[in-house]
Amino acid sequence: MIVKADEITKQFLRKRENSNVFYAVEKTTAEFRGGNLIMIYGQSGSGKSTWMNMLGGILQPSSGRVLYDRTELYAMDDDTLSKFRNQHIGMIPQGQTAIHSMNVRENILLPFSLYGKEISAETGERADRMLEEMGIADLSAVMPSELSGGELRRMAIARALIRQPEVIFADEPTGDLDDENTRTVLSILRRQADMGKLVMVVTHDREVAEFADLTYRMSGGRLCLEEPEQIV
């Protein structure tokens, strides 16, 4: 899968002296291919989440197009887009996303139960494999309130990966994790890229660079590719 941002921008309203709008993301064109882990690095407020959400189909750009191969995301109606997202895109949002009335396994199966379909035996087995892969198999029946930050994050990743999406976005996936959990989470995402998926990690954590094929810097809504020697 090739994901292309074609001259996308995002403007938000903000009262200022001269103008009421500002660009959270300035006009950007970029193309990303499966098999790569892309790191988008930048300070808080630089536009990283805005960028990721536009590429991930949950925030319509103010102008420009987002293409998944030849499919234009925001040309689809809402229902079609949300089905497309459910099939092709795995989102690991920033912060906490657990449903607290469901146990870990049910949380992971959410992308299936969302459409009211019954969970097939095969899907159930996939959930169990996923739990195993994330190292949380023993927590299957546990409620999220009993999990540590690292375990919750791995649960969120399992949920994003359960439908085997070709494109995976992670917003600050290591933000609240210790070193060991950070490396575990990044290895999981790295493995997805090695399997041919496109993985985009938005972060202010420099450690991600070590796992990335390409590093971009977001600064004041401007995205630029960093040369390897610039990364420290």
Question: Which residues of this chain interact with Mg ion, rule CB under 5 A?
Answer: 48-49
**Distance in angstroms (rounded) separating the CA atoms of residues 14 and 8:** 19
Decide if residue 174 touches ligand ADP (CB under 6 A).
Answer: no
Smallest distance from the beta carbon of 100 to ligand ADP, in angstroms?
Answer: 25
12 makes contact, choosing from ligand ADP, Mg ion, none, with CB < 5 to 8 Å by partner type, with ligand ADP
Identify whether the C-beta of residue 66 lies closer than 8 Å to the C-beta of residue 57: yes
Smallest distance from the beta carbon of 128 to Mg ion, in angstroms?
Answer: 32
State whether residue 1 is helix, strand or coil: coil
Closer Cβ to ligand ADP, 26 or 106, answer by number: 26
Q: Interface residues for ligand ADP in 22-81 (CB under 6 A)?
A: 24, 42, 44-50
Closer Cβ to ligand ADP, 184 or 203, answer by number: 203
50 makes contact, choosing from ligand ADP, Mg ion, none, with CB < 5 to 8 Å by partner type, with ligand ADP
DSSP string, 68-112: ETTEEGGGS-HHHHHHHHHHHEEEE-SS----TTS-HHHHHTHHH
Task: For residue 18, count CB atoms less than 10 angstroms from its CB and return exposed for 0-12, middle for 13-18, buried for 19 or more.
Answer: exposed
Smallest distance from the beta carbon of 65 to Mg ion, in angstroms?
Answer: 23
Name the residue among 180, 179, 187, 178 with its Cα closest to residue 157.
Answer: 187
Smallest distance from the beta carbon of 24 to ligand ADP, in angstroms?
Answer: 4
Cα angle, residue 129 at apex, residues 193 and 160 outer, rounded to 5°: 50
Decide if residue 12 touches ligand ADP (CB under 6 A).
Answer: yes
Residues at the interface with ligand ADP (CB under 6 A): 12, 24, 42, 44-50
